Structure 1
Amino acid sequence: MPELPEVETIARGLAPQVEGRTVTAVHILNDSTVEGRRELLEHRVTGCVISRVHRRGKVLLMDIAPASASATDKPVVAPQPSSQPTHVAFHLKMTGRLFVYPQGTPPAVHTRIIFDLSDGSRVFFDDARKFGYCRALAAQDFTEWNFWQKLGPEPLEIGEDAFVQLLRGRRTRIKAALLDQTVIAGIGNIYADESLFRARIRPDAACDSIPEAKLRALHGVMQAVLQLAIRECGSSIRDYRDAHGDAGAFQNNFLVYGKAGEKCTVCGRKLSTAKVAGRTTVFCGKCQK
């Protein structure tokens, strides 16, 4: 599943290709890919300008605003303010992708939604496994979207003191806490394993058993890992590609993820594996204590 660095990379690559363009048509090719009110996406988004592309946690967001009739090939009736969507949200889940194609490009076998833009280009939301979804949201919908309301703080924005307070009183295992999107948003299996190894913390250690100094170290390491992964355009394990179709490169920096049975780069001991919060976890039993 694309995590924070991958979604951030996609947002940054998509932004210059679509910002300032008007959505002239929305084609829904798979009903189950739409979450929430279909009519908001299919009809109310049409005629709106994409003003910004950004990310919250693992969710990619397109901010949209009403466009004048001159911005499209034919006049558009402005939506009623009460139902005017302000965002289109994409959760890519395991295999979701967003690409921009030239005018007239036909849908592929896994294309679920197409957005036609005023410059003739087309944005495809492709998803081989159909776990991802797209949702149009009016301003008031965010207060009613349970998933959005429960999202934890952004790991690249939270301060060190707040991060320590977030974790120190919890009895849950530290990796489970990092994977819990209601605790902190955007971190998944890859970056939890890599951050915990670099901070020398066992993934199954209870949060309230970890010394404060180590939690502070984890905060810095976590942010450094995420920032490096963003600079490397994310990690490509199987399906992930950025908005230009290119693979990420952070997988070349993995120290533990996916390396069970290999030698620890620090001590030379064979890396161990276990299940934590239902996820395969790789760690060094000697270095991480």
Structure 2
Amino acid sequence: MERYEVNSSKIYSTILFPEIKDEFLVLEMPNSINSYRVRASDIVKKFEDKNISISHENLKTILFVKKIEFNSEQIKEFIANEYLKYYPTMIILDVLVDMVSINDIDDFKISVIDLKEHFYKKSSGSFAVSFKNSDGREKRLFFKYQLKAKLQLYKAKDDISHHEMLNISKVTQELSDFQELNSKPIDSSYFDKYSAKLKIKKDRVLTENLFEIKSSIEKGDLVRAVIKSGDVELSFEAVALSSGNIGDVVKIQKSDKKVLSAKVISSELVEVK
């Protein structure tokens, strides 16, 4: 099947064969439809009636589709803003939008743009737009889009071991074409606070799902505990029974097996409450 996009319901010979000098009406599509399928032999006969021979071997059907003009700027702006909500530092170069379902939307205004869930993981996709006119009539059409954008990404400079703390010396930063990400890329706030959930290979893009926050004190750590009473301070060693960050309250166990609650002061110090 061969497809032609046309601007009008009237299909002239020069639309099909621009090199033909004799312009004549080949067929007229009904105004009520936006696509029209005809047998190739019917088109060939129209040309033969004008003593024009054309080749149509292996061609059985021709599809004519009306081009629908629409202002896509509102849709493009919406898509760009939705990506920027998820990637605030993204540099958007362009958004290409094409109508998939053909329909006349003159005098209709956009009411709802419905992007698919997790659209932000890829640079392209499809979506639906609901239109409404002044009489309250609604139309729901489908579109596809392609986002052209760049994103600052951190990549592993070398292999990062399981449980290894992430720091700036272990990464490189690149401005890369955005194509597809399974998770949100990390930012500089991850340095010295997060450790790898698994072994990460060199050059892999670093995303949030690869890391977990590194607690100031981990369960099983040996810590120094202090008990304060006025100007008197008593300290002793204890084992952390739970993990926590600075300001959190964790459980600790003294050498005599007594369990106490203590506030995390640093990675080595807790204060018994």
Do Structure 1 and Structure 2 share a fold, with TM-score over 0.5? Answer: no
Q: What range is the shorter-chain TM-score in?
A: under 0.3
Whichever of the two has the greater Rg, that structure is: 2
More strand as a share of residues:
2
Flag the structure with more relative contact order, 1 or 2, with Cα contacts below 8 A and sequence separation at least 6.
1
Q: TM-score, normalised by structure 1?
A: 0.24
Give me the TM-score of the superposition, normalised by structure 2.
Answer: 0.25
Larger % of helix: which? 1
